[in-house]
Amino acid sequence: MTGGTEVVVFPEAEDLTATVATRLLAAVAAAQAAKGTASLVLTGGRTGIAVLEAVRTAASAVDWSTVDIYWGDERFLPAGNPERNETQARAALLDHVPVDQARVHPMAPSDGRFGDDPDAAAAAYAELLGESPEFDVLLVGVGEEGHTLSVFPDSPAVHSTDVVVAVRDCPKPPPTRVSLTLSTARLASQVWLMTTGAAKAEAVGKALAGVPEAEIPAAGARGRDATVWFLDEAAAAEVKQD
């Protein structure tokens, strides 16, 4: 579905995670077949980590040594903190597959080489990515108020065209984060948005109805070639059907 938006609805969250995992492995294999490598941008959250755990059960389907791993956003906390997306992704998948560690690109922790300076951490990640990074699949979640990545409604980050930004005063803890911007997310070939639960229904409905991204940032997360929303029935309750 080149340039289009696909909405896939599942009866239960478990069905969603299993299908996303299968499709993700297929997307990685397809990218490797086409160009020899694949690049993924991972997310955190309950659904995002559940998908990685499901990928782990069939991980042998792809060659992990030629997969580049990035993160869409990160909690600016010390290395190894259990709330960091990197920590959770390693426990769910990356510590269990033969990934080339040189191809794993976490965002800097708050006790890393930049110290407690999220702006320096963001600048370093932007330098790593370059001005126009391209990813095969970018995975993101959606918050109850419509945030995606760590881009919240009517925040400085939602208006930024930088590649990566430091985010302060997040309405959800922890307050300091590092995040790709929506303009960077839109460089990905495919953007997959995953969310479950009735609490997300209003934000999902508004995003798919075309509400401005300053109000619902998830509305601005779109892929160059395809955008896919993976929802359970509760989260899809306010999606208007054609």
Nearest alpha-carbon partner for 99 in 71, 130, 74, 67: 67
DSSP string, 5-34: EEEEEESSHHHHHHHHHHHHHHHHHHHHHH
Give the pLDDT of residue 1.
36
Tell me the CB-side half-sphere exposure of residue 28, using CA atoms within 13 A. 23
> Which residue stretches of the chain have pLDDT < 50?
1-2
Give the pLDDT of residue 241.
74
